Chains A and B, each alone.
Chain A
Amino acid sequence: MNDIFIDVDYDQIYKHDQEIGGDVFLLSKNPDSNQIVATLSDGLGSGVKANVLASLTAHMAHKLSFSDMDLTHSARIIMNTLPVCKERKISYATFTIVDIRYPSMKDISVSLVEYDNPPVLRFSGSQEISWNRDLIDLKRPGAFKQEILKRSEFSMKNGDRLVMFSDGVTQSGMGSTMPLGWRLDGVRQFAKACIERDPDISSHELSRAIVQHAYSLDGLCSKDDITCSVVYVRSPRRTLVVTGPPFTKDNDAALGEKIRSFNGRKIVAGGTTALIVSRLFGSPIHVDMVHWSKDVPPFSSMDGIDLVTEGMLTLSKVVKVLEEKTPEAMLPDDAVRRFVHILLDSDQVHFIVGTKINEAHQDPNIPAEIGIRRTMIARLRKVLEEHYLKETSLEYM
């Protein structure tokens, strides 16, 4: 696993009363070519029409970034393809494309294309960096205005951040709390203050903080879609998930050693597994009798382990919550929420799966959801990698 992690996340609030947004953020990671592409597009207007424009733009920009095509040409194709608005007789959507390539983690290069979105902010720690952008005039036939792409290339290192947002952020509060809205300078100072307060603030938290602040400036009634995304290069936060007893008892000690030497947070999922770890560590298990429900057995605490839970029921619920993308804030405070919180707050998750079969789970009276541990972990890894872009690894014992 890598010692550097590229943390990308975003947060978004739609315009008040809208079920669908005109801001679209897309993110994909291609581990084979060591490439991450993040695209933010803002379509003309709001609601469905804007969403169609922005989705089209973001998806095209995204696909074209993964191809070898020249970016200027890609931008022309995008603009020629966009449908024309019936009222305004123009076709228009803004976009920002961040194309990150990292042949090795010491060499992270970014190619940035900005078109009519508020400028991207760049920080090294809490220090803002300014850089030169090349201006490219598209000179597209039939264009209703001058179309200027801003293009730049630079490299990023540990501790660097990119913050990009839609005009819903910079224009928040316009006319009500501030005559011209929050403006770029306001966002810049706010982001800087956030980073100074918490130098390790995650992309998730920083983007959320900015969006929430814009929302409050709008008087909790957003005047436009508010979207913010953050790219943060940093050392990875690691989590170890241990579930299931090793196939033979001889391996118990080796398991203990692996847990002890792991540098990061640790979760033990499974009653028997918890007993083994408790014996090896000589620390008692204390079961919390308050936070549980019919589907989720109580969690426990143990010195040296961040979270101890029951096994298959909790794991299957965790997988379900992640697959359905249920927001953490919607979950009751139980083992599943705590489990999900730790997973989502990590960059790399390592699983140690014991392969001993639990005879007690072979009883036909037991619900079918208590499937096979390995299948469950495979699903968990898949959803973590594909939906949440986490790095995962697995070993059997």
Chain B
Amino acid sequence: MDKKEKVVVRICVGTACFVQGGADLLLYNDFLDPNVLAGCEIEGASCLQSCKKTCDATKAEDKPPFISINGKVYGGVTQERFCKLLAEAVNA
């Protein structure tokens, strides 16, 4: 079996993201499915520079906290959404 490339996930730990739910995502070891976790390489990012572009946003998905999965940025990430997004990416 070919070894599958790991999904690169970056969690923003900048101020705006951290206080608006980003801190909850850093607990991924506690709530993420271990099988999904095994397929991901999770790291922190000092700032994904997304908070500034979207400060007038009204939709939750355009607001902090942001993460990036293989380079694509997602906003409004709760723990549930985090699990869902990562599961999709790993199983894709």
Give the B-binding residues of A (Cβ under 8 A).
270-272, 274-275, 278, 285-289, 292, 294, 297-298, 300, 308, 310-313, 358-363, 365-367, 370
Contacts of B18 on A, CB cut-off 8 Å?
A: 297, 310, 313
Q: Which 8 A-B pairs have the closest CB atoms?
A: A287-B44, A271-B47, A360-B51, A271-B14, A360-B16, A271-B46, A274-B46, A297-B18
Contact across chains for A272 and B16 when beta carbons are under 8 A apart: no
Contacts of B16 on A, CB cut-off 8 Å?
A: 358, 360-361, 363, 366
* Bound: A292/B15 CA distance, A: 13
B44: nearest residue on chain A (CB-CB)? A287
Q: List 10 A-B contacts (CB under 8 A).
A: A275-B47, A285-B45, A287-B46, A300-B46, A311-B14, A358-B16, A360-B14, A360-B51, A361-B15, A361-B16
Contact across chains for B15 and A311 when beta carbons are under 8 A apart: yes
Within 8 A of A (CB), among B18-76: 18-20, 22-23, 26, 42-47, 49, 51-52, 55, 64
If the complex has contacts A289-B26, A312-B15, A366-B16, are A300 and B44 also in contact, measured as CB distance less than 8 A?
A: yes
If the complex has contacts A289-B42, A366-B16, A370-B15, are A272 and B49 also in contact, measured as CB distance less than 8 A?
A: yes
Task: Indicate if B77 sits at the interface (CB-CB under 8 A).
Answer: no
Task: Indicate if B13 sits at the interface (CB-CB under 8 A).
Answer: yes
A302: nearest residue on chain B (CB-CB)? B46
Q: Distance (Å) between the CB of A302 and the closest chain B CB?
A: 9
Q: Distance (Å) between the CB of A247 and the closest chain B CB?
A: 15
Contacts of B42 on A, CB cut-off 8 Å?
A: 289
With beta carbons under 8 angstroms apart, the residue of B15, B19, B26, B55 that contacts A271 is B15
With beta carbons under 8 angstroms apart, the residue of A270, A310, A359 that contacts B52 is A359
Contacts of A274 on B, CB cut-off 8 Å?
A: 46-47
* Bound: A292/B25 CA distance, A: 12
Contact across chains for A298 and B26 when beta carbons are under 8 A apart: yes
Contact across chains for B46 and A360 when beta carbons are under 8 A apart: no
Contact across chains for A310 and B49 when beta carbons are under 8 A apart: no
If the complex has contacts A287-B44, A289-B26, are A362 and B13 also in contact, measured as CB distance less than 8 A?
A: no
Contacts of B20 on A, CB cut-off 8 Å?
A: 365-366
* Bound: A359/B51 CA distance, A: 8
Contacts of B46 on A, CB cut-off 8 Å?
A: 271, 274-275, 278, 285, 287, 300, 308, 310
B interface residue count range (under 10 / 10 to 19 / 20 to 34 / 35 or more): 20 to 34
* Bound: A345/B42 CA distance, A: 34
Contacts of A298 on B, CB cut-off 8 Å?
A: 13, 26, 44
Contacts of A285 on B, CB cut-off 8 Å?
A: 45-46
Contacts of B23 on A, CB cut-off 8 Å?
A: 292, 294, 297
Contact across chains for B19 and A287 when beta carbons are under 8 A apart: no
Contacts of A289 on B, CB cut-off 8 Å?
A: 26, 42-44
With beta carbons under 8 angstroms apart, the residue of B13, B49, B52, B55 that contacts A287 is B13
Q: Distance (Å) between the CB of B69 and the closest chain A CB?
A: 16
Contact across chains for A297 and B47 when beta carbons are under 8 A apart: no
Contacts of B47 on A, CB cut-off 8 Å?
A: 271-272, 274-275
B47: nearest residue on chain A (CB-CB)? A271
* Bound: A158/B1 CA distance, A: 68
Contact across chains for A310 and B15 when beta carbons are under 8 A apart: yes
Contacts of A358 on B, CB cut-off 8 Å?
A: 15-16, 52
Q: Distance (Å) between the CB of A95 and the closest chain B CB?
A: 49
* Bound: A285/B18 CA distance, A: 17
* Bound: A206/B19 CA distance, A: 40
If the complex has contacts A275-B49, A310-B18, A370-B19, are A360 and B55 also in contact, measured as CB distance less than 8 A?
A: yes
A293: nearest residue on chain B (CB-CB)? B23
Given contacts A310-B14, A361-B16, 9 further A-B contacts (CB under 8 A): A272-B49, A274-B46, A297-B18, A297-B22, A298-B26, A358-B52, A360-B52, A360-B64, A366-B20
Q: Distance (Å) between the CB of B29 and the closest chain A CB?
A: 9
* Bound: A275/B26 CA distance, A: 20
A312: nearest residue on chain B (CB-CB)? B15
Q: Which among B15, B22, B44 has the highest number of chain A CB atoms within 10 Å?
A: B15
B54: nearest residue on chain A (CB-CB)? A360
B24: nearest residue on chain A (CB-CB)? A294
If the complex has contacts A313-B19, A359-B55, are A297 and B49 also in contact, measured as CB distance less than 8 A?
A: no
Contacts of B19 on A, CB cut-off 8 Å?
A: 313, 366-367, 370
